[in-house]
Structure 1
Amino acid sequence: MTKNLVDLDDEALADAAEWFGTSTPGDTVNAALRDAAVRAQRARALAEMVEIARTGQFDELLDKRHRP
């Protein structure tokens, strides 16, 4: 693990620690970084799905659902 010296917003750190249920600044920052990375991955996946939908690739699935 890399050690870095950074200035942190104490109020934001306390809020994040409460949100993540962490007790040390390092744990809080690491939890926030992991959370941000997961959110970014989900946003990219959603953008890909939207693009697939725009191209009409889901239309065949919709047609199959409405067949008798």
Structure 2
Amino acid sequence: MRTNIVIDDELMVEAMQASGLKTKRETVEAALRLLARRSRQAGALYLFGKIDWKGDLDAERRDDPEPTRRP
């Protein structure tokens, strides 16, 4: 999607330096990805402690799936 926006020059320079990215486009896209990821994480945190799971987590961690056999 092509979009024209006005961004504070100092903020852009600071973000590019902080991220190590070379272009404004990369920097804006990285910032948007970060914002979207943080929003998804906040949604997951909302569920923390609200889902009742019964099982043995240690056993689940130890169980190895059967190796995949190829003909």
Match in the other structure for 1:64: none
Structure 2: distance between partners of 1:18 and 1:48: 35
In structure 2, stretches of 5+ residues that fail to align are 56-71
- Higher relative contact order, structure no. (Cα contacts within 8 Å, ≥ 6 residues apart): 1
After the TM superposition, which parts of structure 1 deviate over 3 Å for at least 4 consecutive aligned residues? none
Amino acid at match of 1:24: T
Structure 2: distance between partners of 1:19 and 1:43: 24
Q: How does 1:18-33 map to 2 (within 5 A)?
A: 18-33=17-32
Instruction: State the identity as a percent.
Output: 31
Q: How does 1:8-23 map to 2 (within 5 A)?
A: 8-23=7-22
Superposed displacement of residue 30, structure 1 = 0.3
Match in the other structure for 2:35: 36
Give TM-score scaled by structure 1 length.
Answer: 0.68
Higher-Rg member (1/2): 2
Superposed displacement of residue 44, structure 1 = 0.7
Matched positions, count: 55
Decide which structure has greater helix share.
1
Q: Secondary structure at the match of 1:11?
A: helix
Give TM-score scaled by structure 2 length.
Answer: 0.66
Q: Secondary structure at the match of 1:22?
A: coil
Match in the other structure for 2:5: 6
Q: Does 1:49 align with 2:48?
A: yes
- RMSD of aligned Cα (Å): 1.8
In structure 1, stretches of 5+ residues that fail to align are 62-68
